[in-house]
Amino acid sequence: MVCQEREKRMSDMDPAVIGTTKMLARIVDGVGWMVFNNPERRNAVSLEMWAAMPRILARFEADPAVRVIALTGAGDRAFVAGADISEFEGQRSSPETTAAYDRVAEAAGLALKQAGKPTVAVIRGYCIGGGVGVAVNCDLRFAAEGARFGVPAARLGLGYGMTGVKTLMDLVGPAYTKEIFFTARHFTAAEAMGMGLVNRVVPDAELDAFAAGQFATMAANAPLTIHALKRTVAELARGHLADRAAAEALVRGCFASEDFKEGRRAFMEKRKPAFQGR
């Protein structure tokens, strides 16, 4: 993978700060990589992994060198093959433990959804259950042709919270949401593309190069513009509850920024702009 091939050029975030060795955090060429590192269980997410996600995201959000946040799974077998069900007997065996577990997982999803920088899921292999939940909380999803998607809640007797259902439904609509849950089957990357679940599907061997090209393009663009667009889309999705004033303030901030001046100068001078995010 892109993040693995460049490993010698990266410095990993200290596992002591993350709180687990099953999550990796790396910054390369303006991209903050969050890697689900549990390959022996197809990167199934444990409670400690859910808890680590907001810490990693906060680190990336605070670093001006990070322009894009990318999520992927260690190895080639899976992006994330769901939550780690082996923990459920202890962590989700009563109403109290289930509620505590759900709070941690929901906080991870909220931190991802509310990230101010572009978030992209780079998906190989299985993207199942909680993996779909992680992916749909990202802004974009790039998938290899061999990727497989599904939500097996109905095969496990799990209830699925309204927040997660709405996030999926906002992407694929009510009918596909019902099909995904009712059948609990695996869908191909092509089927996921047809539903609108993923943005792009590319041959497995080309996924890294495609993602790298997209990241380079996004990283070269104006961060304030991208942030304002993210907030505007989020507010529009809220419908009549939208905070129009907050979104418009971000737009005014773009016009008042040094980046806007740089963009104008670069256009007139026929050169690439060098945006600084201010």
Average pLDDT, the chain: 88
Whether 260 is in a domain gets the answer yes
Q: How would residue 159 be classed by pLDDT, with cut points 50, 70 and 90?
A: confident
Q: Are residues 11 and 87 in the same domain?
A: yes
Whether 274 is in a domain gets the answer no
Q: How would residue 157 be classed by pLDDT, with cut points 50, 70 and 90?
A: confident
Who contacts 116 (Cβ-Cβ below 8 Å, separation ≥6)?
61, 227, 230, 231
Provide the CA 202 distance to its chain's centre, in angstroms: 18
- CA 239/CA 242 separation, integer angstroms: 6
pLDDT tens, position by position, 77-111: 999 998 877 776 666 666 777 788 888 989 999 99
pLDDT of residue 7: 41
pLDDT of residue 78: 97
pLDDT of residue 6: 36
Q: Are residues 161 and 200 in the same domain?
A: yes
Q: Are residues 111 and 193 in the same domain?
A: yes
| Domain containing residue 66 | 2-220
Q: Are residues 108 and 231 in the same domain?
A: no
Whether 113 is in a domain gets the answer yes
Give me 2's structure tokens: 């892109």
pTM score, whole prediction: 0.87
Q: Are residues 179 and 242 in the same domain?
A: no
- CA 210/CA 127 separation, integer angstroms: 19
Name which residue leads in pLDDT, 241 or 254: 254
pLDDT tens, position by position, 160-202: 888 889 999 999 999 999 999 999 999 999 999 999 999 999 9
pLDDT tens, position by position, 196-252: 999 999 999 999 999 999 999 999 999 999 999 998 888 888 876 677 788 788 788
- pLDDT of 5 above 80: no
Whether 212 is in a domain gets the answer yes
Q: Are residues 255 and 152 in the same domain?
A: no
CATH number for position 48: 3.90.226.10
**Residue 157 DSSP label:** T
> Among residues 183, 198, 220, which one ends one of the domains?
220
Taking alpha carbons only, the member of 181, 275, 165 closest to residue 223 is 275
Q: Are residues 137 and 188 in the same domain?
A: yes
Whether 273 is in a domain gets the answer no
Whether 200 is in a domain gets the answer yes
- CA 143/CA 134 separation, integer angstroms: 14
Q: Are residues 10 and 98 in the same domain?
A: yes
Residue 135 CA: distances (Å) to CA of 93, 264, 273: 26, 36, 31
Whether 276 is in a domain gets the answer no
pLDDT of residue 262: 80
Q: Is 80 helix (H, G, I), strand (E, B) or coil?
A: strand
Total number of domains in the chain: 2
Q: Are residues 127 and 228 in the same domain?
A: no
Q: Are residues 239 and 141 in the same domain?
A: no
The tokens 């999520």 sit on which residue? 71
Whether 277 is in a domain gets the answer no
Alpha helices in the chain (DSSP H): 2-5, 15-18, 47-62, 88-91, 95-113, 130-136, 153-156, 162-183, 189-195, 207-220, 223-237, 244-255, 258-268
pLDDT tens, position by position, 10-59: 456 677 678 789 999 999 999 999 999 999 999 999 999 999 999 999 99
- CA 120/CA 211 separation, integer angstroms: 9
Q: Is 262 helix (H, G, I), strand (E, B) or coil?
A: helix
Q: Tally the C-alpha atoms within 13 A of residue 32's C-alpha that lie toward its C-beta.
A: 25
What is the rounded end-to-end Cα distance, in angstroms, of the chain?
A: 32
Q: Are residues 243 and 187 in the same domain?
A: no
Name the region of 31 (left: φ>0; alpha: ψ -120 to 50; beta: rest).
beta
Give me 138's structure tokens: 């990202």
Q: Are residues 186 and 255 in the same domain?
A: no
Taking alpha carbons only, the member of 22, 20, 24 closest to residue 11 is 24
- CA 130/CA 104 separation, integer angstroms: 13
